[in-house]
Amino acid sequence: MKYGIDIGHNCPPSDIGYVGIRKEDELNKEVGAKIIAKLKELKHEVMCCTPSADSSLSNSLYRRVNKANEENVDLYVSIHFNGGKGHGTEVFAISEAGKKTAKRVVDEIAELGYVNRGVKDGSFLYLLKNTKMPAILVEAGFVDSKDDMERYNAENIANAIVNGITTF
CA dist 47 and 2 (Å) reads 8
Give the tens place of pLDDT for each residue, 51-89: 887 778 888 899 999 999 999 999 999 999 999 999 999
Is 152 exposed, middle or buried, given 0-12, 13-18 or 19+ CB atoms closer than 10 A?
buried
The reported pLDDT for the residue numbered 55 is: 79
Give the tens place of pLDDT for each residue, 88-142: 999 999 999 999 999 999 999 999 999 999 999 999 999 999 999 999 999 999 9
CA dist 73 and 58 (Å) reads 21
**pLDDT of 2 over the 90 cut:** yes
- Which residues on adjacent β-strands are paired with residue 138? 79, 91
pTM reported for the whole predicted model: 0.96
Contact in structure between 1 and 42 (CB atoms under 8 Å): no
